[in-house]
Structure 1
């Protein structure tokens, strides 16, 4: 509810708990809300930075909620001022874009590439051109075994600090050897999410270039045709589509990194939960996790018991609420007293 003010749901839960009592220590608050102490301390630091929580020096340090009538009003006024400045800036950008678009030759906006070799070459050029971020829609069909391509171009981007986000079609996850590659990219820094049905392949380099299919490469002529779009209203719409779908997509935990938090899932169980919440059927989960169907059922049953869940749906809700799939809950952040 308070996300519009920059307060994430976990911090909001901690703040709501503080509203019910006197000043409390972080460990006591962690027991009250059912979160690990490291996560509660991180939430308290975020709440302090927003002016919602005050800290009394200990030992032990205790925390108290600031009157929401004062604190939330200040956040609301700050956000209103930011929105006003953003509207003004957006108006300036819109006017500048319209002036430039009036003189632009439409032929300069669109470039069509045909043929697998040409598409591959131009695709690498578009991806390598990213300076700040690369956003990708990934879905079958693939050409020339590209589903097993380690994608060295993306790895090079990640190595030089470019943000890479991949939105994967659920069908693309269930391909032989695919999880191995996804884990490699995640370990290199890629952020991955999954949807049941991604609309089309796409690579969006910064807000400058987009590459997407014009012809799927099936039928009598198997040669693929792609289009490269430069800055235009169409490219802006594609960027907005990516962000909208990214917001509702399911995060994937495939990095294989084991948290130091004793309450966190094992790396193997993180994979199972990620594949489960991604919508893959049990047979596909077992295949990608490298376990038998019987072993999968046993491990999922153990996870449901741990989450006190009677159904797979309840397990998914618990997993999302306790950071089992979003990767944000068990980073081992420093405590407030450090």
Structure 2
């Protein structure tokens, strides 16, 4: 036996002593496993020495056979020979067992994640006013957001612009976007979010907003949101930004004064935002209804969205949008969009 083969045999015996046949996989080259199994299929009734294993030692072949036996791929007979079980049954059974393990792991993941983030939220570092912590990757930002949600009592407020994490979330499936957000106690959190109106240029934005609205979020649109930030009701803020090179970075802020200042910016952004309500009926002061298209244009227009972007979002020509905007200004008796916004609020149109 070669020195390498002897080393593998010693390691194998130690692994067996620890009761782990599955751990023997780490000791074998995957090519050896494949070679032995193919030989088993080609020789359904065999003795180990009859297999052409292309240089694998007898000890390695024996380890392979023991692993395959534990998986139900073959069985030993009285005369020292082995019999390969039919692959269509044996492999299907083995695959079913692996799938059951995978289902168990997936089912356990949410609960284990809540335990993990609850522990992170209760760690000494999260309870101290540590100031400002730099997050150096999108993965760090995601982890910080998970910790923020875990430690939140009831509500999260946020303002969001075209930042790395926001773009990542927007490109998820609508079903995943609409998933509820929980704290570490499994309680559903209330989210109040202001989006920068420039995000309406993103093709995935309308579907993403519709999904979160369905999930119960309160959503508005506002102009010139400077950065993405989220603050919990326990005073922790996470910022999602990118550096000049475009690399995803962020900050986790636990300093009470800094976090409170950012929350004031989030609250001010919410106050000046335009409420997102979807399609419906809006009534003028004289009770003559606006149609759905007028209502959509009014909401987007008052959110500061340019006519060209409104046209793309609604699937109409820019000329149509411009004509309807002029009509809305006339109906409101306004000379500017700002005046139109004030009149629309006063009349209860939005």
Please indicate the TM-score interval, normalised by the length of the shorter structure.
Answer: 0.5 to 0.7
CA contact (8 A) 1:138 1:167 kept: yes
- Relative contact order higher in (CA < 8 Å, ≥ 6 apart): 1
* Alignment match, 1:288: 313
Deviation at 1:233, TM superposition (A): 1.8
CA distance in 1, matches of 2:264, 2:294: 33
Q: What whole-Å deviation, never above 9, does each CA across 1:90-131 have from its counterpart, x for those lacking one?
A: xxxxxxxxxxxxxx965x444433222232233233235433
CA distance in 2, matches of 1:161, 1:121: 19
* Alignment match, 1:273: 298
Describe the shift of the 1:105–1:193 C-alpha distance in structure 2 as closer, same or farther (beyond 3 A): closer
Q: Aligned pairs, how many? A: 217
Deviation at 1:305, TM superposition (A): 4.3
CA distance in 2, matches of 1:250, 1:266: 22
Q: Counterparts of 1:51-66 in structure 2 under 5 Å?
A: none
RMSD: 3.3
Structure 1 unaligned segments of length 5 or more: list them.
1-103, 326-338
Q: Counterparts of 1:111-122 in structure 2 under 5 Å?
A: 111-122=133-144
Q: Counterparts of 1:123-272 in structure 2 under 5 Å?
A: 123-142=145-164, 145-149=168-172, 150=174, 152=176, 155-157=179-181, 162-213=189-240, 216-219=242-245, 222-230=246-254, 232-247=256-271, 249-258=272-281, 263-272=288-297
Indicate the structure (1 or 2) with the bigger Cα radius of gyration.
2
TM-score (norm 1): 0.54
Q: Residue 250 of structure 2 aligns to a residue in which SS? A: strand
Deviation at 1:228, TM superposition (A): 1.6
Q: Comparing 112-121 with 310-319, which one deviates more in the overlay?
A: 310-319
Q: What whole-Å deviation, never above 9, does each CA across 1:44-96 have from its counterpart, x for those lacking one?
A: xxxxxxxxxxxxxxxxxxxxxxxxxxxxxxxxxxxxxxxxxxxxxxxxxxxxx
TM-score (norm 2): 0.52
